[in-house]
């Protein structure tokens, strides 16, 4: 159920269980499962949601983890959330996790987040802000 990840800030172990999902929902004010479904479809557009999922998964083994640490962990390993979800929620029909499919979805999420952020930057600079 655990996924180990290293970053420049140290080694972390991620675990997605009900406490992690509840922590995400308490902070985000939205369903963890809907957010994960958006991530798997490649339609998640908020970097804050991805960072919050990472943070929530850190809490079991690292209760003092911060959102900033979660962001650094994602910088070091953008696929860590998908890998941790693959461990926690394997695809029952395939007889295990479909990591390749989930990793591709994760890269779509990352690309969407980047594109969304760049659109905001270009809009702000074009309007002189």
Give pLDDT < 50 ranges for the chain. 92-97, 118, 121
How far apart (Å, rounded) are the C-alpha atoms in residues 48 and 24?
Answer: 11
Phi and psi dihedrals of 80, rounded to 5? -60, -35
pLDDT at position 26 is 97
Domain count, the chain: 1
Residue 24 confidence (pLDDT): 96
Query: Do residues 1 and 10 make contact, with C-beta atoms less than 8 angstroms apart?
Result: no
By the 8 A CB rule, do 88 and 1 touch? yes
Q: What is the pLDDT of residue 67?
A: 95
The reported pLDDT for the residue numbered 10 is: 82
Q: Which two tokens stand for residue 26?
A: 């308490």
Domain of residue 10 covers: 2-126
What pLDDT is stored for residue 14 in this prediction? 92
pLDDT tens, position by position, 98-111: 555 555 555 555 55
């Amino acid at each position: 159920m655990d996924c180990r990840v290293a970053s420049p800030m140290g080694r972390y172990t991620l675990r997605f269980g009900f406490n992690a999902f509840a922590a995400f929902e308490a902070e985000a004010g939205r369903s963890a499962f809907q957010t994960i479904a958006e991530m798997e479809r490649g339609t998640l557009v908020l970097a804050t949601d991805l960072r919050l999922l990472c943070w929530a998964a850190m809490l079991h083994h690292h209760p003092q983890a911060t959102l900033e640490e979660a962001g650094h962990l994602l910088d070091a390993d953008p696929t860590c959330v998908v890998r941790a979800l693959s461990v926690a929620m394997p695809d029952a029909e395939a007889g295990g996790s479909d990591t390749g499919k989930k990793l591709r979805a994760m890269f779509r999420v990352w690309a969407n987040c980047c594109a969304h952020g760049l659109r905001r930057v270009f809009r702000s600079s074009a309007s002189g802000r």
